[in-house]
Structures are given as C-alpha cells and as structure tokens.
Amino acid sequence: MKKFAWRLQRLLDIKNIEEKCKTMELAKVTKILEETEMMIIKHKRMLEQIISEISQKNTDDRLRIQEFFMKYSSGSDEIIKKLIQKMAELQDKRKKKLEELIEVKRYREGLEKLREQAKTKFTQEQEKQYQKQLDDDAGMRIARKILVKN
C-alpha cells in the first residue's frame, strides 16, 4: 500500500514554524509591556513613599524637603509620562502581533483541515483499490477452478 504524501505539507510545516515565531514575538512584547508597567508602579510607589515620609517630618524640615521634592517630582512625572506613552505603544504593538498570530493560526488550521480531507480521500481510494484487487483475485481463482474441472 502506498504511503500518504500531501503536496502542501511543506507549506503546513512553514506555517507551523511561523506560528511559533509569532507566539515568541508576542511573548517578548508582552514581557516588555509588563516590565514597563512594573516600572511605572515602582516610580509611583516611590513618590508616594517620599510624600508619606515628608508628611511625618516637622514643619521646618518639611519645607526644605518639600521644595526638593517638588523639583524632583517634575522629573519623575516626565519619566512616568514617557513610560505611559511607551506602554501605549507596546499595547498597540502587542495587539498587532496578536492579530498576526490569529491570522497565521487560522491559515494553519485551514491547511490541517485540507490535509485531513486529503488523507481521508487517499485512505478511501486505497481501500477501494485493495477491495478491487481482492475481487479480481477471487475471480481468477474461480476461473481457474472452472478450467481445471473442464
């Protein structure tokens, strides 16, 4: 019996590799996005901690520290704004990567369905040929028996 060989198998293999690559790209972008979010949280917590420490100081110390904090906080706010902007860009990039992954996945799944259909058709054809061969062999045996009797 012949072995099943599908013409589009190479394309299916390429799409499997492409899907794995897209998945890894998506994971990288997601990781960077999470790191950026953690940096934003870290900066905000640091500011909150400084504010709580300032509020616990006495009045004389508090004024000097507040002045320094106000200068520092504007720079820190800029950093947070840039991180938020970077996070928005990363979210857009992640969304695009996810759409690309879904598209490749659908294409691959379609190819797999076509492969299964082709394999089913191949198996049916092989069974028909096998059955025809059995019928021919049985017919030949019967014909030989008839010839031998005569």
Report domain extents, the chain: 9-112
- The model carries a pTM of 0.74
**CA 58 – CA 60 distance, rounded (Å):** 6
* Cβ proximity of 90 and 29 under 8 Å: yes
Residues 24-77 have pLDDT tens digits of 999 999 999 999 999 999 999 988 888 888 888 777 777 777 877 787 788 888
Q: Is 42 exposed, middle or buried (0-12, 13-18, 19+ CB in 10 A)?
A: exposed
High-pLDDT (> 70) share of the chain, %: 99
Burial 101-121 (b: 16+ CB within 10 A, else e): beebeeebeebeeebeebeee
Q: How many CA atoms does the CB half-sphere of 9 hold within 13 Å?
A: 7
Q: Is 59 exposed, middle or buried (0-12, 13-18, 19+ CB in 10 A)?
A: exposed
Number of Cβ within 10 Å of residue 29's Cβ equals: 19
Residues 104-144 have pLDDT tens digits of 999 999 999 999 999 999 999 999 999 999 999 999 999 88
